[in-house]
Amino acid sequence: MIFNKYIGIPYKNLGKDFNHADCFGLIYLAIKEEKGEELPDFTRLGYSSGLVNEKEEKLIVDKMDELNNILFELVYPPYKKFDIALFYGAGNRIVNHIGMFINDFEFIHTKENSSSFKSKFDKQYKKRLYKVLRLKGDS
């Protein structure tokens, strides 16, 4: 499976290569490598290394929403590989996590103190889902 090479990449804030990646960097890397598309570099927004405040976290989501009509389209199930899922944080209503579907029921992502991994799109993640985007022209 083409996504196996994205499993086990060590987490590093603002990383976006095979050596280290954060959750956005992992998606950035996979889209660039597999689709030849380069997502906007949200690290230029100036958010801090810990994404510690709601305003900074919201910058990325606002930018994704802004680009929704240009680069992305909002999609609903069934999800396809390369669809990008935006999630609320665990226990809060701040959208601060991103993953990428590898099929309709699994996605890849990463988190602090971990390496990238595959998760089932189960009840836990479904209730944290903010929205799912697909690159335009990838229907």
Domain coordinates in residue numbering, the chain: 2-135
As a whole number of angstroms, the distance between CA 88 and CA 131 comes to 10
Q: Which of 14, 84, 12, 87 is nearest to 44 (CA)?
A: 14
* Average pLDDT estimate for 75-84: 94
- Residue 69 pLDDT greater than 90, yes or no: no
| pLDDT of the residue at 45 | 52
* Average pLDDT estimate for 52-63: 54
Q: What is the pLDDT of residues 8-19, one digit of tens each?
A: 999 998 899 999
Between the alpha carbon of residue 50 and those of residues 16, 53, 73, the distances in Å are 16, 8, 29
102: tokens are 């590898």
- Written as one string, the DSSP assignment of 78-105 is SP-TT-EEEEEPTTSS-EEEEEEEEETT
CATH number for the domain running over 2-135: 3.90.1720.10
Q: What is the pLDDT of residues 83-130, one digit of tens each?
A: 999 888 777 777 778 999 999 999 999 998 999 999 999 999 999 998
Model confidence at 52, pLDDT cuts 50, 70, 90, reads very low
Model confidence at 51, pLDDT cuts 50, 70, 90, reads very low
Sign, CA torsion 126/122/23/27: negative
